Chains A and B, each alone.
Chain A
Amino acid sequence: MNLNRSLPCTPMESGANKIVSAQPSLCLCNVSLQLDGHAILGEISLHMPQTGITALIGPSGAGKSTLLRCINRLHDGWQGSIELGGQSVRETDVDSLRRQIGLIAQKPAVFPCSIRDNVIFGLPNQQRKSVSDESIRQVLEQAALWREVETRLNDDADTLSVGQQQRLCLARALMLEPSFLLLDEPTSALDPRSRDMIEHSLQSIASQIPLLWVTHDLEQAKRISERVIFICDGRLIEQADASDFFSRPERMESREFLRWNVCDCD
């Protein structure tokens, strides 16, 4: 396939030229965003493969969360183009776009109703009444939460621990059968055990759909991701296969970032 056709503006940045083999699932072209007169994102162009985990890394305040919010149009004032599965997100109805794109936030936000009602919260009215217990079980199993809530589906969701709530949020997003998942530091508020469980379940989900996973934890990025996108100050610095990025980053900024953050770990 001629990638130059499906990628009208293939990023010219060095390190960005390792083209994914199939048509990309998500493609950003020169995306810029200003908020209150401040440039938050500047001309970001990137693309993602059909499946697998892409880690979005960068120092805090780099614009990672903002970028995710542009993709599902929680921010709508950006310039440039964002295409999901070859279609511009601007041309898709915003509510159905968001049903297509699951977003897991840093801090889990469950609704003040039962665990079961939380799982099916995003479904349309009729489906909420007719949804089968089997499909609820399936998504809870996918989110690695089923065994813990099996007997208490009708309990209030806020009786769960934060780690469990985060997995509940994942199940809630999976219930809508998204074709794309955005994860904004989903494990940063969690204990190591919950983190491992989430990583594990997301890795198996990533065999079917693409995941864009924001993390500031480089160890985690190494563990989970196949591709890495590094942004800093709202600009894309480097995108590369994870193994390449961590062993021989091409840009000076990347090397510096890796060095500093390795120091942090010690």
Chain B
Amino acid sequence: MKAVIVLFALPALILPVACLGYILWQGLPALNWQVFSGQGMSGFAQEHGLYGQVAGSLLLMLGATVIAAPVALALALFTRLYLKQRLQTYVTTLLHLLQGIPPIVYGLCGLILFVHLLHWGISLLAGQVILAVIILPVLVLNSLHALERIPGEQTEAACSLGLNNGQLIRRVWLPAAWPAMLTGLLLGMARALSETAPILFTATVFSGVVWPDSLFSPVTSLQTHIFYLAQEGANSQVVGVAWGAAVILIALILLFSAGALWLRRVQYRHRRMSG
């Protein structure tokens, strides 16, 4: 039995590690200052270097976070404060369903609504808003979960002492819930960095932009750049740059995920010590 389990489990472990190893093996040699800065490079949008794509990815992610975080917090607080238990369950179910919608569908909606109907064009803002919508369910669910873990007795004790809702949130709920909320936020940021399809035709272009002039300019991003470059499969130099871009992207995502993991560990240790 053990052998069977190991047989099936092993690929699950080996495959990602092998993938990561292969990407590093291919990508690390391709990474150098030239590729990053674009000095002395030409062709296939390489004359500007990868830093434009890094900047674009980060701008998209940060914008999405800035939009989604307050909305998610407000939604979670509203749900916990004002909705009956049954409605709260409905909200949670709805959010889980939203999480299941393929990102490309959000991209399509964004294309119709923001790019065309609102005349934003292919723009940074459209990408940010779409990514915000995509990461919103994760953030709300995570915040709700953090709030649910606060003992009801504490909430009740605070109310019995005459704290109003604002004071309850500021002095009891947020101090208890913020580390878990921040963990969720970091995971959401990692997600926003990795989404490719929804920004492919709403926010990004292949080349011609290094730094967007405004929220309404298109950007380039690491994710979509890899996609464009990978289509040039015959040109080994171009594909090398794609591998390099992949390494940078993975490093960024790992950074945020690791931050989330670290925060979670810290909370866990703290709970064990105090509880």
**Distance to closest chain A CB from B275 (angstroms):** 7
Task: Tell me whether A105 and B157 are in contact (CB under 8 A).
Answer: yes
User: What would 24 A/B residue contacts be, using CB atoms closer than 8 Å?
Assistant: A74-B156, A74-B160, A95-B162, A95-B163, A97-B162, A98-B160, A98-B161, A99-B162, A101-B160, A105-B153, A105-B156, A105-B157, A107-B153, A109-B151, A109-B156, A109-B157, A111-B157, A111-B158, A122-B161, A122-B162, A122-B163, A158-B275, A176-B161, A176-B162
Contact of A109 among B153, B162, B163 (CB under 8 A): B153
Task: Tell me whether A173 and B161 are in contact (CB under 8 A).
Answer: yes
Q: Show the binding face of B for A, using Cβ within 8 Å.
A: 151, 153-154, 156-164, 171-172, 175-176, 274-275
- A112-B175, A112-B176, A158-B275 known; A72 vs B160 contact (CB < 8 Å): yes
Contacts of A109 in B (CB 8 A): 151, 153-154, 156-157
Contacts of A122 in B (CB 8 A): 161-163
Contact of B274 among A101, A103, A158 (CB under 8 A): A158
Q: Show the binding face of A for B, using Cβ within 8 Å.
A: 72, 74, 95-99, 101-103, 105, 107, 109, 111-112, 121-122, 156, 158, 169, 172-173, 176
Contacts of B157 in A (CB 8 A): 105, 109, 111, 169
**Distance to closest chain B CB from A95 (angstroms):** 4
- A111-B172, A112-B175, A112-B274 known; A98 vs B159 contact (CB < 8 Å): yes
Contacts of B274 in A (CB 8 A): 112, 156, 158
Residue of B nearest to A113 (CB): B175
Contact of B161 among A99, A156, A158 (CB under 8 A): A99
Contact of B160 among A96, A103, A112 (CB under 8 A): A103
Residue of A nearest to B161 (CB): A122
B interface SS class = helix
Residue of A nearest to B172 (CB): A111
A112 to B156 Cα, complex, angstroms? 15
**Distance to closest chain B CB from A122 (angstroms):** 3
**Distance to closest chain A CB from B248 (angstroms):** 40
A97 to B172 Cα, complex, angstroms? 20
Contacts of A156 in B (CB 8 A): 274
A112 to B151 Cα, complex, angstroms? 11
Task: Tell me whether B275 and A172 are in contact (CB under 8 A).
Answer: no
Contacts of A97 in B (CB 8 A): 162
**Distance to closest chain A CB from B87 (angstroms):** 13
